[in-house]
Chain A
Amino acid sequence: MNLLRLFSRPPSAPAARERLQVLLAHERGSMDGPDLVSKLREEILRVIAKHMQIDDDKVSVRMERGASVSTLAVDIEVPLGGKRAA
């Protein structure tokens, strides 16, 4: 084993702790229902579906859960003229 390599690296446990804290904060909050970001995502998609037919392939949803802020990015391709939902 290369000892030099072992000692020259920063410890990895703090990263593990930080990742777990963020993850578990979100998971615990969402055990009895979707978390806020997931709720927003569902409602945004529902509102859009009211106005146009959503082609699932034309919708991309990305989330990044953070310690104090999460980001939600919904990309929707709206066709020219916009096919109306029935």
Chain B
Amino acid sequence: MGKVVVVTSGKGGVGKTTSSAALGAALARGGERVAVVDFDVGLRNLDLVMGAERRVVYDLVNVIQGEAKLSQALIRDKRLETLHLLPASQTRDKDNLTPEGVEAVIGALKESFDWVICDSPAGIERGATLAMRHADVAIVVTNPEVSSVRDSDRIIGLLDSKTVKAENGERMEKHLLLTRYSPSRAERGDMLKVDDVLEILSIPLLGIIPESMDVLRASNLGAPVTLADEHSAPALAYFDAVKRLRGENLPVTIPGEKRSFFGKFFGRKAA
């Protein structure tokens, strides 16, 4: 049985899709079978970031409505044969995502993949709640900026109440992925500090992804940054995040600083 990971944030544009693609590709490079699922119905972009936009035939909504089999809708990556994409629909709206349909699709994906990565849409509406519903693990993508941290806090609340795990009284495993971190702005003191974000959100740190041109470049080329440029700073940060996701206890170094954290040492104090 595979693990279901939701990549979520509340706030838009913080790097969920970029991270879903990068983490998915990093896991798949290790030989594990990965399906990345786009839940952003109506505004899909994961296909573009992964460079599969010309090959989309069927999508998540087609599968849920019984118009296509899951195997027909999955697109295998051209570079990595263990990496697959299930695109979102571009022409229909979110109401086509039914809880039963999503449950069936996730259940089937878990059977044939080691990792099912759900790229959540922004917001706290149907698309976002359905994307997190069946997760075993949540990655909360946050930028070091006030509104993003606030929205992440809101999402953490939903993860602890609106998911199947929470409803069964189980603990949802949550990780913080700090993205678009700019060492120069941190040095000037104009950006929330890593310690501050960790203290406020109190979930373990999965990684810090630096703000980088390499991310833009990768999306221009249509490749996850962990495939487009495996030696770039963001790619290395994503590779480390994947190691931690697999359970390795690897210290997190803050870009531009010598200091490092052991992500594990930050447990949720309250709750």
Contact = CB atoms under 8 A, between A and B. Distances in A.
B54 interface: yes
B222 interface: yes
Contacts of A13: 220
Interface in B70-93: 71-72, 90-91
B69 A15 contact: no
B54 A56 contact: no
- A-side interface size class: 20 to 34
A44 to B, nearest CB: 13
A13 B219 CA distance: 10
Contact-size category for B: 20 to 34
Interface of B is mostly: helix
B164 interface: no
Given A19-B222, A27-B90, A12 B217 contact: yes
Interface of A: 1, 5-6, 9, 12-13, 15-16, 19, 22-23, 27, 30-31, 41, 56-57, 59-66
17 contacts: A5-B231, A12-B216, A15-B221, A16-B220, A16-B221, A19-B51, A19-B53, A27-B90, A30-B91, A56-B72, A59-B72, A60-B72, A61-B72, A62-B57, A63-B57, A64-B55, A66-B54
Interface of B: 48, 51, 53-58, 68-69, 71-72, 90-91, 213, 216-217, 219-222, 231, 233
